[in-house]
């Protein structure tokens, strides 16, 4: 006995005839006859009294009516609950990303995206190198991070330039006296205003920081590519950049950090751009084929960052002109 048959009985009783029920059920009247015969055969009881002027319940049918109604209701409840869950799953985007992105970026992204797609829900999975495998196993819908997690389909979002984080104690051991002056000035400003404003023409190079210890996290691709040959490297077994920052703030050394991660930089550190400019590329990896909700989310992010980059370019043009 399934929902279809019970709905059939319900339709027959409410319409009062097989032909009217057939119309309601969008099938032939013959199918209704056969369905009702099947129901009675399955129950082993004749429940319908067929007359020329309509169909009514037999005594046995009346006795079973409440049981049939209950069964129909519970089957509908089950189906509707499953539909809700399926819809929810359909609209839940499982995002795999680094912990820093998860904490600093995802809340903003989700808040913004809710305005566009209010029904969207997110599952955030934290990971580093495991994300690529999870993506391929279908455990997450998209991976959000740098090129290390690049997989089948890659959508570039923006480039995140690296900065060197310098504690006050080490300023005088970095770069030229002119640079040291500008860094001290920047540090004064930071301590006074709490904010951190970039200074034009201030940057550091590999040579500038060669004399101070470099604090590097394991799996840090900036260190891999840019300072692997410096002598004085302190390697910290942590992916958590706050750990690196507090190490640097204590004056143990300098560290590199993408601009993106600077929002919670301690007040006793300044961030100086690194030259030649190098940045990690932030983008989205996803399988060749994704659900509608996932595609929509990726498209939104792509558009959002394209527009942001254009705004920044316009601003820099204006700055250069002034």
138 contacts DNA (rule: CB under 7 A): no
Number of residues counted as binding DNA (CB under 7 A):
21
Q: Which two tokens stand for residue 265?
A: 């930089």
Binder to DNA among 44, 53, 229, 320 (CB under 7 A)?
53
DSSP 292-306: HHHHHHHHHHHHHHH
Q: Using the structure block, give the residue that is written with the tokens 């509608």.
A: 292
Binder to DNA among 6, 55, 142, 271 (CB under 7 A)?
55
Which lies closer to its own copies via its Cβ, residue 19 or residue 69? Answer: 69
Q: How far apart are CA 274 and CA 268, in angstroms?
A: 19
Please, is 162 exposed, middle or buried when counting C-beta atoms within 10 Å of its C-beta (0-12, 13-18, 19+)? buried
Q: How far apart are CA 98 and CA 257, in angstroms?
A: 14
Judged by CB under 7 A, which stretch of 27-35, 68-76, 166-174, 276-284 contacts DNA?
27-35
Give just the sign of the alpha carbon dihedral 308, 314, 319, 320: positive
Pairing of strands 279-286, 214-217: unpaired
Which lies closer to its own copies via its Cβ, residue 3 or residue 160? Answer: 3
37 contacts DNA (rule: CB under 7 A): yes
Judged by CB under 7 A, which stretch of 28-36, 71-79, 146-154, 231-239 contacts DNA?
28-36
Contacts of 76 (CB under 8 A, 6+ apart): 3
34 contacts DNA (rule: CB under 7 A): yes
36 contacts DNA (rule: CB under 7 A): yes
Judged by CB under 7 A, which stretch of 15-23, 92-100, 119-127, 287-295 contacts DNA?
15-23
Classified as helix, coil or strand, 218 is coil
58 contacts DNA (rule: CB under 7 A): no
14 contacts DNA (rule: CB under 7 A): no
Q: How far apart are CA 12 and CA 34, in angstroms?
A: 12
Residues at the site binding its own copies, with contacts judged by CB under 8 A: 1-3, 43-45, 60, 63-64, 67-68, 70-71, 73-75, 77-79, 81-83, 85-86, 89
């Amino acid at each position: 006995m399934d929902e279809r048959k019970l709905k059939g009985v319900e339709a027959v009783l409410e319409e009062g005839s097989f032909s009217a029920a057939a119309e309601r059920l969008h099938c032939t009247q013959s199918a209704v006859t056969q369905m009702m015969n099947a129901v009675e055969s399955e129950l082993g009881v004749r429940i319908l009294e067929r007359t020329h002027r309509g169909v009514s319940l037999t005594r046995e049918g009346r006795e079973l009516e409440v049981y049939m109604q209950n069964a129909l209701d519970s089957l509908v409840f089950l189906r509707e609950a499953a539909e809700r869950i399926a819809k929810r799953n359909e609209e839940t985007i499982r995002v795999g990303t680094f912990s820093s992105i998860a904490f600093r970026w995802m809340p903003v992204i989700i808040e913004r995206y809710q305005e566009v797609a209010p029904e969207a829900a997110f599952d955030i999975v934290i990971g580093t190198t495991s994300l690529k495998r999870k993506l391929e196993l279908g455990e997450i819908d998209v991976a959000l991070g740098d090129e290390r997690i690049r997989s089948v389909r890659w959508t570039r979002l923006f480039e995140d330039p690296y900065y060197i984080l310098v504690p006050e104690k080490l300023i005088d051991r970095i770069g030229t006296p002119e640079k040291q002056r500008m860094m001290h000035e920047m540090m004064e400003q930071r301590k006074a205003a709490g904010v951190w404003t970039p200074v034009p023409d201030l940057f550091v190079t590999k040579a500038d920081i060669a004399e101070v210890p470099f604090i590097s996290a394991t799996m840090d691709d900036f260190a891999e590519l840019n300072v692997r040959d410096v002598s004085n490297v302190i390697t910290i077994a942590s992916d958590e950049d706050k750990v690196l920052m507090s190490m640097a703030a204590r004056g143990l050394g300098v560290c590199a950090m993408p601009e993106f991660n600077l929002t919670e930089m301690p007040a006793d550190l300044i961030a100086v751009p690194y030259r030649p400019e190098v940045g990690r590329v932030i983008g989205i990896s996803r399988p060749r084929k994704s659900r509608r909700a996932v595609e929509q989310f990726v498209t939104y992010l792509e558009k959002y960052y394209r527009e942001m980059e254009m705004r920044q370019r316009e601003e820099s043009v204006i700055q250069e002109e002034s």
